[in-house]
Amino acid sequence: MSTPESPPARVPRHVAIIMDGNGRWATARGQGRNAGHRAGIQSVREVIRAARDLGIEVLTLYAFSLENWNRPRTEVSVLMSLLEEYLEKELDEVIAHDGRVRTIGRLDRLPASTRRAVERAVARTADNHGMQVVFALSYGGRAELVDAARRIARDAELGKLDPESLDEKGFAAYLYAPDLPDPDLLIRTGGEQRVSNFLLWQIAYAELHLSDRMWPDFRRADLEAAIADYQRRERRFGLTSEQVRPGSGTSEPGAR
Reference 56, options 94, 100, 13, 99; nearest CA is 13
What's residue 254's pLDDT? 45
CA distance 77 to 209: 30
Give this prediction's pTM: 0.90
Query: Mean pLDDT of successive 10-residue segments in the chain (256 residues)?
Result: 50 97 97 97 97 98 97 97 96 97 98 97 98 98 98 97 96 98 98 97 98 98 97 81 65 46
Handedness of CA 28, 32, 33, 39 (dihedral sign): negative
Q: Is 222 labeled as catalytic in the residue annotation?
A: no
CA distance 211 to 19: 10
What's residue 235's pLDDT? 76
CATH classification for the domain delimited by 14-233, as one of 3.40.50.1970, 3.40.50.2300, 3.90.470.10, 3.40.1180.10: 3.40.1180.10
What's residue 9's pLDDT? 65
The one catalytic residue in 68, 155, 217, 229 is 68
Query: What are the sequence ranges of the domains in the chain?
Result: 14-233
Exposed / middle / buried, residue 156 (Cβ in 10 Å: 0-12, 13-18, 19+): middle
Determine contact, residues 213/222, Cβ cutoff 8 Å.
yes
What's residue 241's pLDDT? 75
The CB density around residue 213, as the number of other CB atoms within 10 Å, is: 20
Q: Is 20 labeled as catalytic in the residue annotation?
A: yes
What's residue 236's pLDDT? 75
The one catalytic residue in 20, 182, 184, 222 is 20
Determine contact, residues 22/215, Cβ cutoff 8 Å.
yes
Exposed e or buried b for every residue in 59-73, given b needs 16+ CB within 10 A?
bbbbbbbbebeeeee
